């Protein structure tokens, strides 16, 4: 720092607040993008928390319809969970492949992630379809309303994630590992992992707590 | 409902000719006038050949300053719409004593619902977001916001919501449920029409826009600050922007979820809030106010920021108690999430819960009081200039204190049991929202207008506008406090109590003054545009400002600053300016001018909003094929955007230098002129 700068500093900063650390300036684009996406994910989690809260409020309002323990099939849920957790691992693999610019491993890992996501969705869809067929649709009771909404909201997110995943594969195919493509890939990975975290919540609150007597 | 849908039902959903209110002259005439104005403006734009300019420079712009201006323009137009609703309601209550008045009940109910919805979501919100967009990157000393294209998307989605609300004037109807659409009234069994659907979908779409703006501004403040701009050197407006947008990010998803639940009830027969099958109406109350109370602070915190800037500038003093102001802002940010239940003390939560929330509500008055004292002490001993922005700020302090005090009053649960849903409450929240947010919007408008457009606003008309609005506000809303004390409840289409009548007449007269105030401000803009050469701000610093937005020209070049400003303390520009005066405004001998990369304009926001409008309209009228079309279109828009190969363009160093030199020359002339005086 020059002489004048130090003088100006002492003058304009009576509390000596700026002395400890000087802010270095705007962050690089990669940091800014990821940071913004984190903020979005937090807001998304707030939205999910509303559906969790609604579920907690309405879980006992079965209106003469079935309780959770009567309709949940733990085996299917276990398969769903394994699929989603595995897909998080393969999604991480895809991220690493993108970082080292390996197309083959990238496509492979993304494809496996996609398939696991689709299996998850298929099982969930079948669960929903069976319930509706037995007359236990979301209109049956407030409990089923909250159940379908919470689990369905997560399912919609996974569907959007699959769409995003396919778009990312197409982007890498068309554009290669460009800086902006890599930033989007990073955001996609964050999104996919966040869905996993939310599923852990859904699994615990809905299926584990509700599965017992 | 026929079992097999007809061709018409498949193609047009619920839409048919009965949707056009041919039997109701008022909305039809209003809609017709609006349509004529829009078509007239469009025709003028096309005939004069302004369309390419408008498209390239504004509609597709990703420049935060332009987007800010468009937000404020949207808010101003919607203010006229919401204001017209207010005038109609005041006239109705003035004449509907022992008579039906001139507005039938179902129309009156739509008007008060639309008035609240429009004023909060499409006036107050876009106005403060517009100011933040315009000013915050300049104050932080950076070239743009964190996500410029998303910023444009956010604006256009907000505009989509506003468009849908106005569409309900002529196609169908608006909600008759009040501005928060409480169930079970808003459920399908009690509101079978499309009114609530218009309400909910326009808020869902504009809510996405608001969330995008919130994420963008939080990231901008936290991650994009120029060199040396430590947190505790940020101007107060940046701090309040941060707090407000943190609240947006945390609270708007709650609104999205709540409205989604209401829509699921209405569209798919879910039972979140119904009376049947175990639905829970109180859950809606809790959820909507868990968003709704922070929303109040989302609006008023940036307003506090505007006052902080204005009071400090026009007192020619640094803001008193800067750090206590930061602390107060963040305290309000947090406590605002802990008071939501005071909106329904009367709905059976019990004395313990009511007491806790009553005390929390009173506590939030403490940091607000800190702020008021800080502004007063900033003025104390300062050389105060009573320019129009300062008048709005002082008017705010006088007005807002009364609103705050009546707020503390209704925060006492026993008192609230008396005043709940009365005109007293109506007076209270208008007192804080008009006195707090709207006055700040006007103060900020007058204060930053020269920065945005390069010329000042006419002071004489500005002061006429202020005094009529200020007096008009008091004459309109103080009688409502009294009417509330006399037992008048809110939202009355007609009444038979003679004691209320005189106060309604006084309030209607106050509305006349308010209207004159608004007209004076419109006149002010017209007069100022005509006299713009005389009012030209050549230096970029018309108010002797203190923060970095005044360090660049008015209007600023697209890149804001030729060099990244190097900040060394609070009131960054004030220090720079005085340094420069001592140095006789030395030439830039130091760093060389360099090429600047700026984000390219993009129609993504506009096209995306077009598809959102299509989708929203289709959802409201159950036209399912069109819903799919809109959704696919919006997705395709994003993919096309993501496929671009060049998202930035370069402004060559020579051009940067040319633009910067002009401004430096103007400033030097001013300093030498000041030296000769």
Residue A17 belongs to some domain of the structure = no
CA-to-CA dists, residue B323 to B234, B291, B306, B313, angstroms? 11, 28, 17, 18
> What was the pLDDT predicted at A107?
94
Exposed, middle or buried, B319 (CB in 10 Å: 0-12/13-18/19+)?
Answer: buried
| Domain shared by B38 and B181, yes or no | no
Q: Which residues from B are below 8 Å from A31, CB to CB?
A: 223
Check if the beta carbon of residue B589 is closer than 8 Å to that of residue B611: no
Residue of A nearest to B571 (CA): A12
| Domain shared by B32 and B166, yes or no | no
| Domain shared by B194 and B285, yes or no | yes
Residue of A nearest to B212 (CA): A40
How many domains in chain B? 2
| Domain shared by B337 and B393, yes or no | yes
| Domain shared by B293 and B421, yes or no | yes
Check if the beta carbon of residue A205 is closer than 8 Å to that of residue A55: yes
| CATH number of B392's domain | 1.20.210.10
Residue B629 belongs to some domain of the structure = no
Coil, helix or strand at residue B650: strand
Q: Which residues from B are below 8 Å from A143, CB to CB?
A: 278
Count of CB contacts below 8 A, A vs B? 172
Residue A11 belongs to some domain of the structure = no
ipTM of the complex: 0.89
Helix (H) or strand (E) holding B597: strand B596-599
Best of A2, A10, A13 to mutate (most B CBs within 10 Å, chain B): A13
Residue B642 belongs to some domain of the structure = no
Q: How far is B393 from chain A (nearest CA, A)?
A: 26
- A138/B270 touch (CB, cutoff 8 Å), yes or no: yes
How many domains in chain A? 1
- Closest CB to B569 among A12, A25, A53: A12
> What was the pLDDT predicted at B673?
58
What is the pTM (predicted TM-score) of this model? 0.91
Coil, helix or strand at residue B376: helix
| Domain shared by B127 and B39, yes or no | no
Residue of B nearest to A148 (CA): B270
Q: Which residues from B are below 8 Å from A15, CB to CB?
A: 232, 323
Within an 8 Å CB–CB cutoff, is residue B146 touching chain A? Answer: yes
Within an 8 Å CB–CB cutoff, is residue B27 touching chain A? Answer: no
| Domain shared by B214 and B136, yes or no | yes
Q: Which residues from A are below 8 Å from B216, CB to CB?
A: 36
Q: How far is B565 from chain A (nearest CA, A)?
A: 10
Q: Within 10 Å of residue B70's Cβ, how many Cβ atoms?
A: 21
Residue B429 belongs to some domain of the structure = yes
Span A4-52, pLDDT tens digits: 344 444 455 555 555 556 788 888 888 999 999 999 999 999 999 999 9
pLDDT higher than threshold 90 for residue A189? yes
Within an 8 Å CB–CB cutoff, is residue A3 touching chain B? Answer: no
| Domain shared by B55 and B142, yes or no | yes
Q: How far is A58 from chain B (nearest CA, A)?
A: 7
| Domain shared by B569 and B473, yes or no | yes
Chain B, window 123-142: residues with a beta carbon less than 8 angstroms from a chain A beta carbon: 142
Q: Where are the alpha helices (DSSP H) in B278-364?
A: 281-314, 322-335, 351-363
Exposed, middle or buried, A150 (CB in 10 Å: 0-12/13-18/19+)?
Answer: buried
Tokens of residue A59, six digits: 């879980």
Chain A, window 96-125: residues with a beta carbon less than 8 angstroms from a chain B beta carbon: none
Best of A28, A38, A54 to mutate (most B CBs within 10 Å, chain B): A54
Residue B612 belongs to some domain of the structure = no
Chain B, window 443-502: residues with a beta carbon less than 8 angstroms from a chain A beta carbon: none
Coil, helix or strand at residue A211: helix
Residue B328 belongs to some domain of the structure = yes
Q: Which residues from B are below 8 Å from A41, CB to CB?
A: none
* CA angle (B444, B552, B670) in 5-degree steps: 100
Q: Within 10 Å of residue A194's Cβ, how many Cβ atoms?
A: 20
Residue B633 belongs to some domain of the structure = no
CA-to-CA dists, residue B294 to A73, B300, B340, B509, angstroms? 40, 10, 8, 33
Chain B, window 332-391: residues with a beta carbon less than 8 angstroms from a chain A beta carbon: none
CA dist., res. B199 & res. B164, Å (int): 8
Residue B618 belongs to some domain of the structure = no
> What was the pLDDT predicted at A5?
40
Span B325-377, pLDDT tens digits: 999 999 999 999 999 999 998 888 888 999 999 998 889 889 999 999 999 99
Residue B625 belongs to some domain of the structure = no
Q: Which residues of chain B have pLDDT under 70?
A: 1-5, 580-591, 671-677
Q: Which residues from A are below 8 Å from B639, CB to CB?
A: 167
Range of the domain at A41: 30-211
Range of the domain at B112: 50-602+647-676
- A12/B571 touch (CB, cutoff 8 Å), yes or no: yes
Residue of A nearest to B322 (CA): A15
Residue recorded with tokens 């409480």? B182
- Closest CB to B564 among A8, A25, A39: A25
Beta pairing partners, B422: B489
| Domain shared by B19 and B110, yes or no | no
Within 13 A of B22's CA, how many CA atoms are on the CB side?
Answer: 4
Check if the beta carbon of residue B379 is closer than 8 Å to that of residue B315: yes
| Domain shared by B186 and B233, yes or no | yes
Mean pLDDT of chain A: 87
Residue A24 belongs to some domain of the structure = no
- A12/B568 touch (CB, cutoff 8 Å), yes or no: yes
Span B526-551, pLDDT tens digits: 999 999 988 888 888 888 888 999 98
CA dist., res. B101 & res. B502, Å (int): 16
CA-to-CA dists, residue A140 to A143, B277, B584, angstroms? 8, 7, 79
| CATH number of A110's domain | 1.20.120.80
pLDDT higher than threshold 90 for residue A56? yes
> What was the pLDDT predicted at B308?
94
Coil, helix or strand at residue B431: helix
Chain A, window 34-63: residues with a beta carbon less than 8 angstroms from a chain B beta carbon: 35-36, 39-40, 42-44, 46-47, 50-51, 53-54, 57-58, 61-63
Chain A, window 174-203: residues with a beta carbon less than 8 angstroms from a chain B beta carbon: 174-175, 180, 184
Which residues lie below 8 Å from residue B101, measured CB to CB, with a gap of 6+? Answer: B92, B93, B95, B108, B493, B494
Tokens of residue B220, six digits: 């901008």
- Closest CB to A46 among B142, B254, B270: B254
* CB contact burial B550-560 (16+ within 10 A = b; e otherwise): bbbbbbbbbbb
> What was the pLDDT predicted at A3?
37
| Domain shared by B141 and B32, yes or no | no
Say what percent of chain A tops pLDDT 70. Answer: 89
- A39/B225 touch (CB, cutoff 8 Å), yes or no: no
> What was the pLDDT predicted at B528?
93
């Amino acid at each position: 720092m020059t002489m004048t700068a130090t003088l100006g500093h002492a003058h304009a900063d009576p509390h000596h607040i700026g002395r400890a650390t000087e802010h270095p300036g705007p962050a690089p684009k990669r940091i800014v993008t990821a940071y913004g996406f984190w903020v979005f994910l937090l807001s998304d989690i707030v939205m999910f928390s509303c559906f969790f809260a609604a579920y907690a409020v309405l879980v006992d309002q079965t209106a003469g319809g079935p309780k959770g323990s009567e309709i949940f099939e733990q085996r299917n849920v276990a398969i769903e969970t394994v699929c989603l957790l595995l897909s998080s691992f393969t999604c991480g693999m895809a991220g690493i492949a993108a970082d080292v610019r390996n197309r083959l491993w990238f496509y492979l890992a993304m494809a496996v992630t996609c398939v696991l996501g689709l299996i998850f969705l298929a099982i969930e869809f079948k669960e929903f379809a069976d319930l509706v067929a037995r007359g236990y649709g979301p209109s049956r009771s407030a409990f089923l309303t909250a159940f379908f909404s919470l689990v369905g909201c997560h399912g919609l997110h996974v569907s959007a994630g699959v769409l995003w995943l396919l778009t990312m594969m197409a982007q890498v195919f068309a554009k290669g590992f460009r800086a902006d493509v890599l930033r989007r890939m990073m955001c996609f990975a964050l999104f996919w992992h966040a869905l996993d975290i939310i599923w852990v919540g859904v699994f615990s609150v809905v299926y584990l707590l509700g599965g017992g007597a | 409902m026929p079992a097999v849908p007809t061709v018409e039902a498949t193609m047009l959903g619920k839409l048919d000719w009965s949707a056009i209110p041919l039997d109701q002259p008022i909305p039809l005439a209003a809609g017709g006038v609006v349509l004529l104005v829009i078509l007239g403006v469009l025709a003028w734009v096309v005939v004069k050949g302004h369309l390419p300019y408008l498209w390239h420079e504004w509609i597709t712009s990703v420049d935060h300053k332009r987007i800010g201006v468009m937000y404020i323009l949207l808010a101003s137009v919607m203010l006229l719409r919401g204001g017209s609703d207010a005038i109609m309601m005041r006239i109705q209550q003035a004449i509907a004593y022992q008579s039906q008045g001139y507005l039938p009940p179902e129309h009156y109910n739509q008007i008060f619902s639309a008035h609240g919805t429009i004023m909060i979501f499409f006036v107050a919100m876009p106005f403060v977001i517009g100011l933040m967009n315009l000013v915050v990157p300049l104050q932080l000393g950076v070239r743009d916001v964190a996500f410029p294209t998303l910023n444009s998307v956010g604006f256009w989605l907000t505009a989509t919501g506003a468009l849908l609300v106005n569409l309900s004037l002529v196609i169908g109807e608006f909600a008759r449920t009040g501005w928060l659409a409480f169930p079970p009234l808003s459920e399908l069994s009690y509101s079978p029409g499309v009114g609530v659907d218009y309400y909910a979908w326009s808020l869902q779409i504009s809510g996405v826009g608001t969330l995008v703006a919130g994420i963008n501004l939080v990231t901008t403040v936290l991650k994009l600050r120029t060199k040396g701009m430590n947190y505790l050197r940020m101007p107060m407006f940046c701090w309040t922007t941060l707090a407000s947008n943190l609240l947006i990010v945390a609270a708007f998803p709650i609104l999205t979820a709540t409205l989604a639940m209401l829509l699921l009830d209405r569209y798919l027969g879910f039972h979140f809030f119904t009376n049947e099958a175990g639905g829970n109406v109180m859950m809606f109350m809790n959820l909507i106010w868990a968003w709704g109370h922070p929303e109040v602070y989302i609006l008023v915190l940036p307003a506090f920021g505007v006052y902080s800037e204005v009071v400090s500038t026009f007192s020619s003093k640094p803001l008193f108690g800067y750090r206590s102001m930061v602390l107060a802002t963040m305290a309000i940010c947090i406590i605002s999430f802990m008071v939501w239940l005071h909106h329904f003390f009367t709905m059976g939560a019990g004395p313990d819960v009511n007491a806790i929330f009553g005390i929390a509500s009173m506590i939030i008055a403490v940091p607000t009081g800190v702020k008021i004292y800080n502004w007063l002490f900033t003025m104390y001993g300062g050389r105060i200039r009573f320019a129009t922005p300062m008048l709005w700020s002082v008017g705010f302090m006088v007005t807002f204190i009364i609103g705050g005090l009546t707020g503390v009053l209704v925060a006492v649960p026993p008192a609230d049991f008396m005043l709940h849903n009365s005109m007293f409450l109506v007076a209270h929240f208008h007192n804080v929202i008009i006195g707090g947010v709207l006055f700040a919007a006007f103060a900020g408008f007058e204060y930053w207008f020269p920065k945005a457009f390069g010329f000042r606003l006419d002071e004489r008309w500005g002061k006429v506008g202020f005094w009529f609005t200020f007096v008009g506000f008091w004459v309109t809303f103080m009688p409502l406090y009294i009417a509330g004390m006399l037992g008048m409840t809110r939202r009355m289409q007609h009444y038979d109590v003679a004691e209320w009548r005189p106060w309604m007449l006084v309030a209607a007269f106050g509305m006349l003054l308010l209207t004159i105030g608004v007209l004076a401000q419109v006149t002010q803009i017209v007069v100022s545009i005509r006299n713009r050469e005389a009012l030209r701000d050549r230096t970029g610093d018309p108010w002797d400002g203190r923060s970095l937005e005044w360090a660049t020209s008015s209007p600023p070049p697209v890149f804001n600053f030729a060099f990244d400003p190097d900040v060394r303390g609070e009131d960054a520009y004030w220090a720079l300016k005085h340094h420069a005066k001592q140095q006789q405004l030395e030439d830039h001998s130091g760093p060389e001018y360099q090429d600047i990369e700026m984000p390219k304009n993009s129609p993504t926001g506009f096209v995306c909003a077009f598809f959102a409008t299509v989708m929203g309209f289709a959802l409201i009228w159950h036209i399912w094929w069109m819903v799919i079309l809109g959704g696919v279109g919006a997705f395709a828009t994003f993919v096309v955007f993501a496929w671009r190969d060049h998202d930035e363009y370069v402004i060559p160093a020579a051009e940067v230098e040319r633009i910067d030199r002009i401004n430096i020359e103007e400033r030097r002339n001013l300093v030498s002129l000041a030296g000769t005086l």
